[in-house]
Structure 1
Amino acid sequence: MIFIVVKFRPKPEHVENFPQLMAEFTEATRNEPGNLWFDWSRSLEDPSEYVLVEGFRDGDAGKEHVTAEHFKKFVAETPALLASTPLIISQAIDATGWSEMGEMKVG
């Protein structure tokens, strides 16, 4: 699996509506056959920061993602909405999805 975390810092005028501005890209990515998840969160410590957690089936699915038309459009248009270059961690990991946390059990 390809596991990706990206931190985005929108310009102040786009902070509140950033999820809506990303909605088309989010929906298109979630509909990719190799996408496992594509989930946005907002930082509790810094509400002007959004965190995107992505999972793709494998490297081929990741390559399909970055060559998709919606990704090209995202890369071309999104910098105008941002205050700084996004920060990313992208790693191939030995997993097929989420697992229960071994250190904690509920119920």
Structure 2
Amino acid sequence: MIFIVVKFKTKPEWADKWLDFVGPFTTATRAEEGNLWFDWSRSVDDPAEFVLVEAFRDAAAGGAHVGSDHFKAAMADLPQALAATPKIISQTIDASGWSEMGEMTVE
């Protein structure tokens, strides 16, 4: 799977609007063949920072995502709301989904 984490630092005036702003992009990406998840979180330390955790089945699915119209539109539209260039980690890993945490069991 392709596992990606991206940190987005928004301009302060966009922080409370960010999730609505990226809503159509999120919905379209989640509907893609090969998308495993596309989940947003907000930093507890910085309310203007959002973290996107996303995964795609394989390189072909990830490539289709980057080639999609909604991805291209997002790359053109999102910068207006950002205070800095996003930071990314993108890795191919040997997994097909989330595993249970071995150090903790909840019954």
Query: How many pairs were matched up?
Result: 107
CA distance in 2, matches of 1:88, 1:42: 16
User: Aligned equivalents of 2:79 and 2:47: distance in 1?
Assistant: 19
Per-residue CA deviations over 1:40-82 (Å, capped at 9, x if unaligned) read: 0001111110000001000000000000000000001111110
Instruction: Give the TM-score taking structure 1 as reference length.
Output: 0.98
Could you tell me which amino acid in structure 2 is paired with residue 73 of structure 1?
Answer: A
Gaps of 5+ in 2: none
1:85 aligns to 2:85 (yes or no)? yes
**1:33 paired residue number:** 33
Q: Provide the C-alpha distance between the structure 2 equivalents of 1:17 and 1:80, rounded to a whole number of angstroms.
A: 12
> Secondary structure in 2 aligned to 1:4?
strand
CA–CA distance in structure 2, aligned partners of residues 73 and 53 of structure 1: 20
The runs of at least 4 consecutive aligned structure 1 residues that moved more than 6 Å come to: none
- CA-atom RMSD in angstroms: 0.5
Alignment-derived partner of residue 18 in structure 1? 18
Query: Identity over the aligned pairs, expressed in percent?
Result: 62
Structure 1 residue runs without a partner (length 5+): none
Aligned match of 1:105: 105
Whether 1:8 aligns to 2:8 is yes
